[in-house]
Structure 1
């Protein structure tokens, strides 16, 4: 049934649109209240992955849904995937470019919260707002970027609770591992060693989370890597913001949050995502082996990430933030190439699956 509100072609005979939540009314029907709509929606949970999104196989259309109107039901539907009951079968997975939009809404919500906290601190002079200001300011952009990777994970096989777990546990573990390495190299700290230490720390934690064959897709590696990177970036920004505040400079606090937030998508989040994707590409359906870390396909991406991190931290007079913006663009070019490769991987697996002989039924 085609929805008259959003033109989405629903593949079921229910009473509402799975895309926008519009209620289909038949003869003698009356509009449903929100509770009945929710329970009817729940009965179709297992259908969500199959009809989750309408996509076009064109990269230029990827952000076409950002400025469209979306219902709350549509937002909720994006989070009911990844469980044992709501993970789609491989043949149901779309291998064409998704159209993410929720990441922009998450950023807008975080921005509104940050502005409110800023008003509380700057206008009302209430110091109780400062912790919230730092926390929201530190997490807003990394989490929004992470939601983008969540929406791009076409297999839809990772639950949102798992992502939250990886953000916090993966973020803090990667920072602790980095501190351990820095302590070992405390007499030899420079942009190159910083790049190696921090990217190696994140890589070890990312690999710890994606080493199981459950997360065998390149897009899974991108998502879980981005989760570790988001945690690392947010905790680091919170620390630098607190340092600026303790120096007695409120302008320094605000400039630290704003500048690091602006640069966050092209830094730790993207770099860790690329590391995770490169490892999943190497591992595939195989059991984890240590020699996978020395495969050229992984080493090339990891070396690129380390190089970009080292260049990012290299103090070149007159180049900040132009150099960082250029590196952001490079990072995201590689990210989109990896997404394209991940979607192609799904297409190839679907072809292989369709070519397998059918099992005889008894």
Structure 2
């Protein structure tokens, strides 16, 4: 179906142009002010029936990354989550989302970093150094966060709220960790580091998700990823600054490079797992401290602590292979919890 305004070729059956937004049918469904939004949300998640499955199929998850997408599609992704634009549970897809925007965000961040790198390395302009550190620290954690944002099928969390959690949750979790580090300053080792940092992030994540507004497993994944992204970004920026002050530019770039490579399987994924595990335990119930001692939460949290401790354990000859194995393990659990989250949505829809 070609748009009469911009001649863009649209899929059959849509009521507006995906390129310019021109409506093909002027009147929305009577009695439903959000029907136009729901139709767009339905298209954004629309995939061939052969791809529709609750089971994780790696090749299908990223099947839309290399397809053409209009600017309007990207803009529409960011309007969800408000009181007027949160889809009804009956409108939520319980099949695997097909994220693609995160790849565009990564490319943009990579281009920005390349620009700062040229300014510093080739032109010797020190004014580019703060941008180099900030973009280098933020690029991969934020890209991973966008992936979790797109995987949040309920679409009930506004993006401004996600950014709020990144900034506030990131600094709060770091401050809580500093308190614990101060208490255990005479007994710091990989195990205590894993316990301290994951406990600090868990406390922060739970403080955001304990309200029943965020009752889905996928909500916990997103909010946990937001806290983890903030933690990872601020920590990387700190390490990058230390490398810079050492006067070794190679060390600075290596710090940003390796921490960027490992970011998706580190703090972001671990905090996401903690948030998902807690939401899985809490469900529709009001918050209770006893929830923290339930097996479904403890086994995920302890797994995260163990992976963090192993990550920080110096084993000769294991870097970076050990970290890649731990990243793979983290994402296997992430995919399992995404599947559990989609099954949860399917059950909730049957109850309506």
TM-score (norm 1): 0.88
Is the counterpart of residue 319 in structure 1 residue 318 in structure 2? Answer: yes
What per-residue deviation string (whole Å, max 9, x for no partner) do you get for residues 242-292 of structure 1? 000001110000000000000000000000000000000000011001111
Alignment of 1:207-286 (within 5 A): 207-286=206-285
Higher mean alpha-carbon deviation, 59-68 vs 244-253, is at: 59-68
Residue 11 of structure 2 is matched in structure 1 by 8
- Aligned-partner SS, 1:156: coil
Residue 114 of structure 2 is matched in structure 1 by 115
CA distance in 2, matches of 1:317, 1:116: 36
CA distance in 2, matches of 1:9, 1:62: 24
CA distance in 2, matches of 1:306, 1:126: 42
Alignment of 1:62-211 (within 5 A): 62-211=61-210
CA distance in 2, matches of 1:265, 1:64: 19
User: Against the structure 1 CA distance between its residues 193 and 9, is the aligned structure 2 distance closer, same or farther, given a 3 Å change threshold?
Assistant: farther
Unaligned runs of 5+ in 1: 27-41, 354-362
Residue 28 of structure 2 is matched in structure 1 by none
Structure 1 residue 51, shift from structure 2 partner: 3.6
Residue 29 of structure 2 is matched in structure 1 by none
Q: Which of 46, 53, 58 is matched with 1:54 structurally? A: 46
Structure 1 residue 2, shift from structure 2 partner: 9.1
Conserved 8 A contact 2:21-2:72: no
User: Against the structure 1 CA distance between its residues 2 and 84, is the aligned structure 2 distance closer, same or farther, given a 3 Å change threshold?
Assistant: farther
Conserved 8 A contact 1:270-1:332: yes
Structure 1 residue 304, shift from structure 2 partner: 0.2
CA distance in 1, matches of 2:307, 2:259: 16
User: Against the structure 1 CA distance between its residues 336 and 43, is the aligned structure 2 distance closer, same or farther, given a 3 Å change threshold?
Assistant: closer
Unaligned runs of 5+ in 2: 26-33
CA distance in 1, matches of 2:174, 2:252: 22
- Aligned-partner SS, 1:49: helix
CA distance in 2, matches of 1:339, 1:124: 46
Aligned CA RMSD, in angstroms, stands at: 2.0
Structure 1 residue 22, shift from structure 2 partner: 7.6
What per-residue deviation string (whole Å, max 9, x for no partner) do you get for residues 81-132 of structure 1? 0000000000000000000000000000000000000000000000000000
Conserved 8 A contact 1:49-1:156: no
Structure 1 residue 54, shift from structure 2 partner: 1.2
Structure 1 residue 5, shift from structure 2 partner: 6.0
Conserved 8 A contact 1:49-1:86: no
CA distance in 2, matches of 1:172, 1:313: 21
Structure 1 residue 352, shift from structure 2 partner: 1.6
Conserved 8 A contact 1:103-1:144: yes
What per-residue deviation string (whole Å, max 9, x for no partner) do you get for residues 128-158 of structure 1? 0000000000000000000000000000000
- Aligned-partner SS, 1:325: helix
